[in-house]
Amino acid sequence: MPFPNTHPALAQALKAQGYEEPTAVQAAILDTPRGADLLVSAQTGSGKTVAFGLAAGADLLGDAERFGPADAPVALVVAPTRELALQVSRELGWLYAPAGARIVTCVGGMDARSEQRALNAGCHVVVGTPGRLRDHLERGNLDLASLKIVVLDEADEMLDLGFREDLEEILDATPPERRTLLFSATIAREIATLARRYQRDAVRIDTVRRDEPHGDIEYRAVRVAPNEIEHAVVNLLRYFDAPSALIFCATREAVRHLYGTLRERGFQAVALSGELSQKERTDALQALRDGHARACVATDVAARGLDLPALDLVIHADLPQNKPTLLHRSGRTGRAGRKGTSIVLAPYTRQRKVEQLFASAQITAYWSGPPTADEVRKRDQERLLDSAVLKEPASEEDLALGRRLLEGSDAETIAASLVRLYRSQLPEPEDVFDGGGENGPRAPRAGPRERPERGADRVYDPRAEREARPTGGAWFRIPVGRVDKADPKWLIPLICRHGHVTKRDIGEIRIFPDETLFEISTEADARFRAAVQRTADGDAPITPVDGPAPSRGPAPKRPGPNRAGPKLGGHKPGGPHPGGPRKPPTGRAGPPPYKKKRDKA
């Protein structure tokens, strides 16, 4: 449907930008009574900035064609991050340009003195982050006495980032008759409390379907060996060849490492983390928007408020902590009607966690292994044959150069050279291992996992072909077994990487239902013990097995507080106490505890 009747200046701006039909949130907001407070929940990228810009325009302009002289601000927009505030300022800039609005942005990381001068010069709209707005307010640079409308964009994120006190101080300084528009992805208890305190009979608008995931995002889960996550990221970027991709890591160190890995392999990548300056962040985002970079490695906090409308691919290199993190990360793609893909890398030791994440979000994901090097090269061939370069008509200059090439070589040689030139510009794919399993849509498992009886599932000896194999090595344990799809093909690289040994130093590998035991040669024992202490993996820690070599029968019990020996005060019924007769504790009358239990028996 076409846009409802709006202010002529705003309608002119919409037409200039090519807006023909409103989105769901825009239509819902424009249909509410004029002057009403709004409590809105909508998906990221749903056009809410234009929506509250149109809703505020009627209050700010009234019957006037343009804004009056710039004095004290009449509208305030609060956003959680610098990037989102700058994005909102750009959107309102073109929307209010025909009406002659003056907009000032106040965000952390920018020159506060320049912002102070802009505020003193007068403006109609102020857009900023909570901390910087509160700072200007306390210094007397920001006058909120003339405000007609206040917009809190992504209020849930502002509360998550600890801006509650800042928001309350800002809102307490505004006139009580002002109009308040509150936008939040979810209406949690804290958001509802904030709305009751600062809004009057707010109209509730919910354009998010709670019973189904984002329809424009395809979710995939990729099985991967724990030591091949970076290789899987490389092959996924090469296989999908997305114009822009966002890769999430859990820590700054992980961002630095993965960013260095991608740059080393020839990818045009940028990194975003909290340690970057504002200029470095701005340059990185601009490189993504301009197409000079095609992949961005970021932490969750650094990616908040990113405006990348053309983002096609999201890769979760490190698992999301919970359902909101999964949905918020994935929501960076599939925006404004575009299709997107969200890929979760599922290490063999964390597949159950991934299934629980998808189940909590009511998502049915497509499970598969990582793209192999052969699959990537096949896609390269398809892209080359479908390239526009081969279909566009050649110019006279190109034809003349082509004839000169044919004079010295035949057509087949020239075509092969073209293929080599094409491949030389692409990063080389990696060899990855896929342990197999179910491909295609996979419903999460319901209920507890059924465990088979304990006992060795299989025995693997990579040195079995050698006639004289050293014996008497040290045994170690890793808490990954048959139920986790443990396989020597990826266990051996994992052991080598964490223990700084080679395949020749590994003896037998015995895989049990929920753990794996393996042998390390005597020569490499000391080196291996020192290495695993320095490179401990929280998902799959390697610990030594005390005592003699384990048998091939039932797996040895893990050491624990209840398995280190007989319990104090406990013994076999009817037999002597293992520590002999016990004396009553000093200052305590009556028989010892074990005596009392035996009498009751």
- 243: domain CATH number is 3.40.50.300
Q: How far apart are CA 459 and CA 366, in angstroms?
A: 32
- Residue 566 has a pLDDT of 39
> Does 318 map to a domain?
yes
Q: How far apart are CA 335 and CA 44, in angstroms?
A: 7
Whether residue 381 sits in one domain with residue 364: no
- Residue 597 has a pLDDT of 46
- Residue 337 has a pLDDT of 62
Whether residue 381 sits in one domain with residue 368: no
> Does 521 map to a domain?
yes
Whether residue 71 sits in one domain with residue 177: yes
Which spans in 515-589 are helix H? 525-534
Q: How far apart are CA 105 and CA 127, in angstroms?
A: 5
Whether residue 45 sits in one domain with residue 158: yes
User: Where does the pLDDT of residue 231 fall: very low under 50, low under 70, confident under 90, or very high at 90 and above?
Assistant: very high
Which spans in 104-178 are helix H? 112-121, 130-138, 155-160, 164-172
Can you tell me the mean pLDDT for 500-517?
87
538, pLDDT greater than 80: no
Whether residue 227 sits in one domain with residue 352: yes
> Does 487 map to a domain?
yes
Question: What does pTM read for this prediction?
Answer: 0.60
Give the residue, 2 or 584, on which the prediction is more confident: 2
The total number of structural domains that make up the chain: 4
Contact 46, 91 (CB under 8 A): no
Whether residue 347 sits in one domain with residue 228: yes
Whether residue 283 sits in one domain with residue 169: no
435, pLDDT greater than 80: no
- Residue 579 has a pLDDT of 47
> Does 189 map to a domain?
yes
Whether residue 333 sits in one domain with residue 271: yes
Q: What percent of the chain clears pLDDT 90, i.e. is strictly above it?
A: 24
List the one residue out of 227, 225, 222 whose CA is nearest residue 237.
Answer: 222
DSSP single-letter state for residue 584: P
- Residue 225 has a pLDDT of 83
- Residue 288 has a pLDDT of 84
Residue 478 belongs to domain spanning: 458-544
Q: What percent of the chain clears pLDDT 70, i.e. is strictly above it?
A: 78
> Does 249 map to a domain?
yes
Q: How far apart are CA 502 and CA 513, in angstroms?
A: 26
pLDDT in tens, 461-475: 544 444 444 456 889
Q: How far apart are CA 271 and CA 266, in angstroms?
A: 15
> Does 555 map to a domain?
no
561, pLDDT greater than 60: no
Domain final residue pick, 544, 571, 596: 544
133, pLDDT greater than 60: yes
Give residues with Cβ within 8 angstroms of 272, minimum separation 6. 255, 281, 284, 285, 296, 297, 298, 299, 302, 303, 306
135, pLDDT greater than 80: yes
- Residue 179 has a pLDDT of 92
Contact 348, 61 (CB under 8 A): no
Whether residue 493 sits in one domain with residue 350: no
> Does 123 map to a domain?
yes
> Does 36 map to a domain?
yes
Whether residue 153 sits in one domain with residue 36: yes
CATH number for the domain spanning 463: value is: 3.30.70.330
Domain final residue pick, 149, 175, 206: 206
Q: How far apart are the first and last CA of the chain?
A: 82
Q: How far apart are CA 7 and CA 3, in angstroms?
A: 11
Mean pLDDT, rounded, of the chain = 79
- Residue 20 has a pLDDT of 77
Whether residue 295 sits in one domain with residue 366: yes
Secondary structure of residue 70 in the 3-state scheme? coil
Whether residue 18 sits in one domain with residue 67: yes
Domain final residue pick, 544, 563, 595: 544
Q: How far apart are CA 228 and CA 432, in angstroms?
A: 7
